[in-house]
């Protein structure tokens, strides 16, 4: 299998901040809005260099979405920023009515997604945001896997005309994708070819899938690992090509199995190529307080859980 090297741990939210810094220097139409979380979103450099293009709306997330929708009418490209829970659940009506229904060119950028928010607990963690966003007609949903890919995704969505949900996280995780990568919306990335099982992962679970694939290789199992950074539109062709070769699939995500990446793939496969599938995801539950590592272990969202799911799905081929 292809070997990937951890270039040094970094948080994906810092990738967003780095992407915004570059956009501030290259795209004069990009503006940033934030709901009192500048430090958490890592956008201080953008603000320092472009103070006239930053809007601090305070703890008024619904108002932020309305302002962002209005800014698009004047040709601006607004990037809204707050925690994923407050970027989606708290403002779903505003996103649906003012952004998605109208097809506004708003980039909804959501940090601290999933349970790896950690000690802040279930009220701030969200495990249903991908489902909420992917159900909105015309909404693109992106969940990059590391710092480099988050930076590339942030830059890429500025050139896309239409609403986008960009999801990223708080903890420092392995940074392993190319520094100067080209990010293609809706195009899966083949990380390692294999013949026995397909592992499709998104976000923080991509690196965990690569670790699992190495452990499986030591057991004589050849795993194909695919990074699905864009959940909607889904790269169905890449998934179909892989499962027609391997005959089974494991999906891995830091999200509820209801409404997430795994559900999208299951629906697609049910109609196009029925395939044995196992889900590595939370099982219809809220999170709780704890360190990211403790929570990933408890809720079965790490390399050990992926390895176990692969061994199970292989018995169903």
pLDDT in tens, 192-223: 999 999 999 999 999 999 999 999 999 999 99
Residue 194 lies in a domain: yes
State the residue range of the domain holding 45: 11-173
The predicted-structure confidence for 88-103, as pLDDT tens digits, reads as follows 999 999 999 999 999 9
Residue 5 lies in a domain: no
Q: 52, 61, 161, 224: which one is catalytic?
A: 61
For residue 208, the domain's CATH number is 3.40.50.920
pLDDT value for 182? 94
pLDDT value for 193? 97
Question: Is residue 135 very low, low, confident or very high in pLDDT (cuts 50, 70, 90)?
Answer: very high
Residues 99 and 35 in one domain: yes
Residue 6 lies in a domain: no
Residues 250 and 163 in one domain: no
Residues 195 and 156 in one domain: no
Active-site residue flag, 61: yes
Residue 4 lies in a domain: no
Residues 155 and 214 in one domain: no
How many structural domains is the chain composed of? Answer: 2
Q: Is the pLDDT of residue 2 over 90?
A: no
Residues 145 and 197 in one domain: no
Residues 108 and 242 in one domain: no
Residue 145 lies in a domain: yes
For residue 33, the domain's CATH number is 3.40.50.970
Residues 142 and 75 in one domain: yes
Question: Is residue 4 very low, low, confident or very high in pLDDT (cuts 50, 70, 90)?
Answer: confident
Mean pLDDT over 233-258 rounds to 98
Residue 305 lies in a domain: yes
Residues 138 and 275 in one domain: no
pLDDT value for 272? 98
Query: Last residue of a domain, which of 140, 173, 206?
Result: 173
Please give, one letter per residue, the 3-state secondary structure of the chain. Answer: CCCCCCCCCEEHHHHHHHHHHHHHHHCCCEEEEECCCHHHHCCHHHHHHCHHHEEECCCCHHHHHHHHHHHHHCCCEEEEEEEHHHHHCCCHHHHHHHHHCCCCCCEEEEECCEHHHHHHCCCCCECCHHHHHHCCCCCEEECCCCHHHHHHHHHHHCCCCCCEEEECCCCEECCCCCCCCCCCCCCCEEEECCCCEEEEECCCHHHHHHHHHHHHHCCCCCEEEEECCEEECCCHHHHHHHHHHHCCEEEEEEEECCCCHHHHHHHHHHHHCCCCEEEEEECCCCCCCCCHHHHHHHCCCCHHHHHHHHHHHHCCC
pLDDT value for 68? 98
Residues 147 and 269 in one domain: no
Residues 205 and 143 in one domain: no
Q: Is the pLDDT of residue 1 over 80?
A: no
pLDDT value for 290? 96
Query: Last residue of a domain, which of 173, 198, 213?
Result: 173
The whole model's pTM is what? 0.97
Residues 137 and 216 in one domain: no
Residue 3 lies in a domain: no
Residues 162 and 283 in one domain: no
Q: Is the pLDDT of residue 304 over 90?
A: yes
pLDDT value for 267? 98
Query: Last residue of a domain, which of 113, 144, 173?
Result: 173
Q: Is the pLDDT of residue 18 over 80?
A: yes
Residue 182 lies in a domain: no
The predicted-structure confidence for 277-297, as pLDDT tens digits, reads as follows 999 999 999 999 999 999 999
């Amino acid at each position: 299998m292809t070997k990937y090297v951890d270039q040094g741990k970094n948080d994906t939210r810092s990738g967003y901040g780095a992407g915004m810094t570059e956009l501030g220097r290259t795209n004069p139409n990009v503006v940033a809005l934030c709901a009192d979380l500048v430090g958490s979103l890592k956008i201080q450099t953008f603000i320092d260099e472009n103070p006239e293009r930053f809007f601090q709306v305070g703890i008024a997330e619904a108002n932020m979405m309305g302002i962002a929708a209005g800014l698009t009418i004047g040709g601006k490209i607004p990037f809204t920023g707050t925690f994923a829970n407050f970027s989606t659940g708290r403002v779903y009506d505003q996103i649906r009515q003012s952004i998605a229904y109208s097809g506004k060119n708003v980039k909804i950028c959501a940090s601290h997604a999933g349970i790896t928010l950690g000690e802040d607990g279930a009220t701030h963690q969200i495990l249903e945001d991908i489902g909420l966003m992917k159900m909105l007609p015309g909404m693109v949903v992106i969940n990059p896997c590391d710092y480099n890919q988050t930076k590339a995704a942030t830059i890429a969505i500025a050139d896309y005309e239409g609403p986008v949900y960009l999801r990223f996280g708080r903890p420092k995780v392995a940074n392993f994708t190319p520094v100067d990568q080209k990010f293609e919306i809706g195009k899966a990335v083949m990380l390692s070819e294999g013949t026995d099982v397909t592992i499709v992962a998104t976000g923080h679970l991509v690196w965990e899938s690569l670790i699992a694939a190495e452990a499986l290789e030591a057991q004589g199992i050849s795993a194909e690992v695919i990074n699905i950074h864009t959940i909607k539109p889904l790269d169905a062709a890449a998934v179909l090509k892989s499962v027609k070769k391997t005959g089974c699939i494991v999906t891995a995500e830091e999200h509820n199995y209801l409404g997430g990446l795994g559900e999208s793939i299951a629906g697609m496969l049910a109609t196009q190529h029925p395939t044995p599938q196992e889900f590595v995801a939370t099982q219809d539950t809220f999170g709780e307080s704890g360190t990211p590592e403790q929570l990933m272990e408890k809720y079965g969202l790490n390399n050990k859980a992926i390895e176990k799911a692969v061994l199970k799905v292989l018995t169903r081929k």
